[in-house]
Amino acid sequence: MSSELIERYLGRNSDTTFRIDPSIAGGLEIEESLIYEVKLLQFLCKYYVFENPALVAQQHGHTKLIKELYDTLYEASAENSMYADMIPDPFDEKISMLHEGELGYSDIDAGTIRARLVADVIASMTEQQAMQLYERVTGRSPGLVTDRII
């Protein structure tokens, strides 16, 4: 069933057609019946999945975790931070290059680049790695000195 729907919405099904037309906003013309189907599927996903109380609670926890982890790593990435060793490879090298002015982004301020690098650190982690690092940096589960998270 799912592969049938994937083929249908990718236009590989004979009753489904997409037409590229640059005069239309976005440049993609989609059959009206498909638009209604997609809206129905979006509603069902929102109602049964995204608004599921268990998932909402989990998303709230993940949001809090990411915000706190971001703030902690942003602080650790500051120039001369005593927590600089918290930044994993290869991002620690990029942070060092940023502070030495060697990244080559003269048109972007250092704070913006630093924010992007910290976001890249978090985005490169698996969910499990992010949770382990969060627990370690908040002191909830210090782990062993030899434990490598990322």
In which residue are the tokens 């490169």 written? Answer: 124
- Tell me how far apart the alpha carbons of residues 109 and 71 are, in angstroms, rounded to a whole number: 18
Tens-digit pLDDT string for the chain (150 aa): 566 766 766 655 555 555 666 676 666 667 787 788 888 889 988 888 888 888 888 889 999 999 999 999 999 999 999 998 888 888 989 998 888 888 777 788 888 999 999 999 999 999 999 999 999 888 888 777 677 767
Which residues, listed in sequence order, are joined to residue 93 by a DSSP beta bridge? none
- Every domain of the chain and the residues it spans: 2-50, 53-137
CA 91, distance to chain mean position in Å, is 16
pLDDT at 100: 87
C-alpha to C-alpha distances, 1 to 7, 14, 60, 143, nearest whole angstrom: 10, 16, 32, 45
pTM of the predicted structure, to 2 decimals: 0.67
